[in-house]
Amino acid sequence: MNPWKGIKRIPRNIWLISGATLINRSGMMVLPFLTLYLTEELGETPGDAGLVLAAYGLGALITAPFVGKLSDKIGAMRLMQISMLGSGVLFFLFSFLENYWFIFSLSVLLAVINESFRPASMAFISDSVEAELRKPAFALYRLAINLGMSIGPILGGFLTAINYSLLFYADGITCISAGIYLLLVKWDLPQTEEDELEAKSSPAKNLPPVYRDWKFLYFLLAMVPVGIVMFQLMSTLPLFLVNDLGYAKTTFGFVIAVNTVMIIIIELPLNTLMNKWSDWKLLLIGSLLTGIGFGGMAVLHSMPGIIITVIIWTFGEMILFPAGASYAAELSPKGKRGEYMGYYQLMFSICFTLGPWLGTVIFEEFGSFTLWIGTFMFGLISTIMMLKLKSFVSNNA
């Protein structure tokens, strides 16, 4: 079977929304360099700079369920347009601010506007593709994210050498460009806007809120341990490679490159090949591979050994996250998918908040061996919890 052949079946809407995501993510450079900007350009302390990032994370954490519900009310496409155009304006405004508390406040507002794109786009994808193609559709969406993220930070590094303000202009321009793209592109309306209007009068409108759907909440809870493991990538992994093993800082960049290249080349055909596999099985496999990959670093310390662990947990990532998004869409009733995807995004925000903090505390207090054994155990916890998901899927869509 040719895994690339099935990609042609992915609907046009998915390719178009992935194009908008690529435009947006190609300019994502403010957040990766924000702490450097605040400390080097404005003279803030590292602690105060970190607090601004925490404010952004808190804004995203609090608003995720509400923007998801707003997506159901006004339409996913409209919310995505507002998100991109509004974010672009705020990024330009950011470049003119020097007062710390203005920057702090604007970071919270930026999180509310900018992060509203995610649940809306995931709800849009869920409604625009049939169930058996959801995994490759979300894999294509992730491909656009990773391609963009491989461009933005690199370009941002060059721009910081010229003028930090260029970061805000570039990020603002790409956001506004993505917003204009969303406005001008001809979408397949029968699968999107008209369905959304129909959904507003569907029985789903009278269903209880997401926080009373215990099956969906259990799924989110099952994702938290493995999500915490994945966020060690940007927190404890570089500390482990440089401080514990004595590798050069460029080694971490190489590790990230291996992960990114694998995702770009393999994830989409892999998920196309597995598009008929049950989501719960893939969630189980993805959680197990993630736990084994990160846990393997407890004993594998040579560079070939580290690369083997990276390959293992990258396969886990490539299987886990498209299946997770697909399963979330499967559990969510039509007409409430924005709200459900908002809670799904909330789960990632919680993992982003807990993961780096918990990992660094364990690393500092108990050492790297305990940390990586802990990641294996967390991956195993998610794996065991995924077994129960088999009985949860119903024809909600």
> Is pLDDT at 305 greater than 60 in this prediction?
yes
- N- to C-terminal Cα separation, the chain: 29
Let me know if residue 141 belongs to a domain: no
Residue 247, amino acid: Y
Residue 100 clears pLDDT 50, i.e. is over it = yes
For residue 204, the model assigns a pLDDT of 54
Q: How far is CA 39 from CA 42, 98, 101, 108, 167, in A?
A: 6, 12, 15, 19, 15
Residue ending a domain, choose from 184, 201, 218 = 201
The pLDDT of residue 5 is 61
Residue 325 has pLDDT above 80, yes or no: yes
Please determine, for residue 173, whether its predicted confidence score (pLDDT) is greater than 70.
yes
- What CATH number corresponds to the domain at position 129? 1.20.1250.20
What pLDDT, in 10s, does the model give residues 7-56? 778 889 999 999 999 999 888 888 777 777 888 888 888 678 878 877 88
Name residue 101's amino acid: W
pLDDT at site 302 = 93
Average pLDDT over residues 317-342: 88
- pLDDT for position 396: 45
| In a shared domain, residues 195 and 287 | no
Tokens of 195: 């369905």
Domain count, the chain: 2
Count Cβ atoms below 10 Å from residue 214 Cβ, excluding itself: 10
In a domain, 189, yes or no: yes
Q: Would you say residue 240 has pLDDT above 90? A: no
Question: How much is the average pLDDT of 266-285?
Answer: 90
Closest CA to 24 of 151, 174, 139, 132: 174
Are 44 and 98 found together in one domain?
yes
234 and 293 both lie in a single domain: yes
Structural domain of 219: 209-391
Is residue 67 over pLDDT 90?
Answer: no
Q: Model confidence over 105-123: pLDDT tens digits?
A: 998 899 889 988 988 898 8
**DSSP string covering 2-51, please?**
-TTGGGGGS-HHHHHHHHHHHHHHTT--HHHHHHHIIIIIS---HHHHHH
CA nearest to 231, candidates 382, 49, 357: 357
High-pLDDT (> 70) share of the chain, %? 92
Q: Is residue 139 a part of any domain in this protein?
A: no
